[in-house]
Amino acid sequence: MFDSLQDRLGSILNGLTGRGALSDKDVGAALREVRRALLEADVSLEVVRDFTEAVRAKAVGAEILKSIKPGQMVVKLVHDELVSMLGSDQVPIDLNAPAPVTIMMVGLQGSGKTTTSAKIAKRLTERQRKKVLMASLDTRRPAAQDQLRILGEQTGVATLPIIAGQGPVEIANRAAQAARLGGYDVLILDTAGRTHIDEPLMVEMADIKVASRPHEILLVADSLTGQDAVNLARSFDSRVGVTGIVLTRVDGDGRGGAALSMRAVTGKPIKLIGVGEKMDALEDFHPGRIADRILG
Ligand code: GDP
């Protein structure tokens, strides 16, 4: 669809082979292409700005080596900086707390919260032999609680029995009690979303947090989120305080720039990625792969 960054930088820089160091002017021309590539990958404008400045600082004055083309050299610099900003360490879900460890899932409607809740529950059950209970606190969408129950049946994970008429905080309290009494290791709370961020959503999330004191608060976000990613991540993080991010639909066509935007504005690790609708379609986050994708 687009020329790769490597090709674009090659045509700007490769004529410089064997000519000392990269000048401010050479780097400026290259960075315009880097900026374009990042915007095409849907990285937020403010993050693109900070990122290109970080690359500029490293590139200006860099020695042009004979063994590698200048275009490739800058692509490598950009790639390494992307990986560093995306977070080069794998950060798993933290279960290091007294049982039942509560994981609260937050995010907009349709981002993949319910699906991801069940995927995580399945993974913890199968790989870490944890006894997991899931509860849906989504009292807004009539079918939401049922959707989680059905996924629980499919994956063999217990779900909190549904009692009609209860509010989210009441359900959270009931879930905590059921998890304690039932000897569960992990309690996953799937919360309600909205089509966009609004005050009642943030108030509801804050109330649930106070009632359930989660050890992990995972923001679930669609990897196709464009320029809104910054606002989304910043709002949830400043109002509720997230401990990690799960990026969904990484199997889609998007270039995944939202990963960089959200990581950059919150500093919170991307812990997992969703790569399909099936219950096994959940993977660890590898920054190198997302960096490759962003660069196209
Ligand atoms: P919620 O409203 O945030 O709870 O979102 P859901 O969990 O109901 O997901 C909305 C839709 O996205 C469903 O059809 C899911 O199957 C789908 N979905 C969730 N995660 C992924 C993913 O990683 N890849 C793909 N292709 N679809 C996903």
ipTM: 0.99
**Angle at 64 (CA atoms; ends 61, 69), nearest 5 degrees:** 135
If you measure from the C-alpha of residue 46 to the centroid of ligand 1, how many angstroms do you get, rounded to a whole number? Answer: 28
pLDDT at 14: 82
**Does ligand 1 lie within 6 Å of residue 188's CB atom?**
no
If you measure from the C-alpha of residue 197 to the centroid of ligand 1, how many angstroms do you get, rounded to a whole number? Answer: 18
Cis before residue 168, ω within 30 degrees of 0? no
Q: Which atom of ligand 1 is nearest to the CA of 252?
A: 26
If you measure from the C-alpha of residue 223 to the centroid of ligand 1, how many angstroms do you get, rounded to a whole number? Answer: 11
- Alpha carbons 192 and 87: distance in angstroms, whole number: 29
* Tokens 């939202």 -> residue: 258
Tell how far CA 231 is from the center of its chain: 14
Alpha-carbon distances of 243 from 79, 214, 263, 271, rounded to whole Å? 25, 10, 11, 9
Q: Which atom of ligand 1 is nearest to the CA of 220?
A: 3
If you measure from the C-alpha of residue 228 to the centroid of ligand 1, how many angstroms do you get, rounded to a whole number? Answer: 19
* Tokens 């109002």 -> residue: 239
Nearest residue to 16 (alpha-carbon basis) of 57, 62, 78, 80: 62
pLDDT at 59: 87
pLDDT at 2: 56
If you measure from the C-alpha of residue 203 to the centroid of ligand 1, how many angstroms do you get, rounded to a whole number? Answer: 24
pTM of the model: 0.94
Alpha-carbon distances of 223 from 99, 112, 191, 227, 244, rounded to whole Å? 32, 11, 19, 11, 15
pLDDT at 1: 47
Per-residue pLDDT tens, the chain, 296 aa: give them.
Answer: 457 888 888 888 888 777 788 888 888 888 999 999 899 999 999 999 999 999 999 888 888 887 788 888 888 899 999 999 999 888 999 999 999 999 999 999 999 999 999 999 999 999 999 999 999 999 988 899 999 999 999 999 999 999 999 999 999 999 999 999 999 999 999 999 988 889 999 999 999 999 999 999 999 999 998 888 999 999 999 999 999 999 999 998 888 899 999 999 999 999 999 999 999 999 999 999 899 888 87
Which residue's C-alpha comes closest to atom 15 of ligand 1? Answer: 277
Which residue's C-alpha comes closest to atom 12 of ligand 1? Answer: 112
Nearest residue to 117 (alpha-carbon basis) of 71, 61, 175, 65: 175
Q: Which atom of ligand 1 is nearest to the CA of 108?
A: 3
Query: What is the enclosing helix (H) or strand (E) of 79?
Result: helix 70-86
Give the HSE-up count for residue 44: Cα atoms under 13 Å, Cβ half-sphere: 21
Pocket test residue of 245, 277, 282 for ligand 1, highest count of atoms within 8 A of CB: 277
Which residue's C-alpha comes closest to atom 26 of ligand 1? Answer: 276
